[in-house]
Chains A and B, each alone.
Chain A
Amino acid sequence: MDIFVICLLTIGLFFFFGGAVGIIRMPGFYTRLHPAGILDTMGILVMVVALAIYNLHQLTFESVLLTIKILLIVFFVFLSSPTATHSIVDAGMRAGLRYWTKKKEKE
């Protein structure tokens, strides 16, 4: 079980690392939001699920309750984080910000 938890945490770390690199390296506003939105959500999802599983070492009523609470956090993050990214992109589109193209960079 520990190995499983470590695997999940490592995957989460990988996601977060990819997200951080993506925010720095990607060109343009929308392309930067893409790693920020997807990879952060996935990273936090995997990591918190790992914590929820780790918490089940002792199978008591309280630990199960705590796991359910942790899974609730996962649920709300999964719901709110992509929506926040979506609303930022939406606002950018309405404000008339053009997406990045290779041609634009050359000019």
Chain B
Amino acid sequence: MKFFGFVVVCLVGGLLLYGTADFPDWGDPDSPASTHLSDIYIEHAFEQTQVPNIVTAILADYRGFDTMFETAVIFCAGLACFLLLRDFKERKERFYRHVPTGVILHVKNSKKALRVGRDFEHIDKDWIPSDLIIKTVCRILIPFIQIYALYVVAHGDFSPGGGFQGGVIFGSSLILLAISYDLKILVRRIKEKVLGICAAAGVLVYVGIAAICMPMGKSFLDYSALEMFVFDPHHVRALGMLGVEIGVGIAVAAVMAIIYINIVSEGRHDEGL
């Protein structure tokens, strides 16, 4: 089976490499992209889409399909991580730490988690609580990181940024929470189910905005069909892109958290790094 997989990888890789031989040279001024496409983007992007940031205009409007399936690919990555790694088996060994003294109780063979008072905390075998300095600083920084992530998503039309970047920053703030405290706090705050729903909902927002255009009489992903939903018909394309970027941001943030949680705890969702 392994050998078969190796052959398939070699075959596909070889075909792809063979395909790249037909590409124009790197930075070739006579290539089709440089002679026709770039000029049109640079000259007409603003008047056609009303978005000052050409990169966003190209990614979310001219190449909307590409970005839509990129989002789907990221969703699939999260799904693959979940399906391959998630381990639902409950472990019987449990450890409780008495906070004031630091004594650790080891409970063998308990089906359910014991109900413990405030003085005890449920810990894992290899896990030591993080330092107070790290906890405090991360607690101060995380809200700022999250606000910055929302800014990057919302401001993607005007400055570098957009859904992917903002989503990654938001996801990294969740990961920082898991690193500085422990994984259980993150999982308790944001349930696994919520993360999964968010990842799917983000893709759905993108596809939904694209699909609404069709009953309005325009083609798939043609944001100008959304005129009746927005207050400012002049900027309808920019607002359509903003909606799409928000969907991308939600999906990427949720998938980042899913991938981190599943990899770091080997799918058990209990052990802090």
A contacts, CB < 8 Å to B: 76, 79-80, 83, 86-87, 90, 94
Contacts and interface: CB of A to CB of B under 8 A. Distances in A.
8 A-B pairs closest in CB distance:
A83-B137, A87-B134, A90-B131, A86-B133, A79-B137, A83-B134, A83-B133, A80-B141
Contacts of A83: 133-134, 137-138
Interface of B: 128, 131, 133-134, 137-138, 140-141, 144
Contacts, number: 19
A2 B138 CA distance: 37
A86 B138 CA distance: 13
Main secondary structure on B side of the interface with A: helix
A86 B141 CA distance: 16
Contact of A76 (B131, B134, B141): B141
A76 B144 contact: yes
A104 to B, nearest CB: 26
A80 B133 CA distance: 11
Which among A76, A79, A83 has the greatest number of chain B C-beta atoms within 10 A?
A83
B128 A94 contact: yes
Contacts of A87: 131, 134
B50 to A, nearest CB: 25
Contacts of A90: 131, 134
B135 to A, nearest CB: 10
Nearest to A87: B134
Contacts of B128: 94
Given A83-B133, A83-B137, A83-B138, 8 more contacts: A76-B141, A79-B141, A83-B134, A86-B133, A87-B131, A87-B134, A90-B134, A94-B128
Contacts of B137: 79-80, 83
A86 B144 contact: no
A90 B141 CA distance: 19
B130 to A, nearest CB: 8
Contacts of A94: 128
Contacts of A76: 141, 144
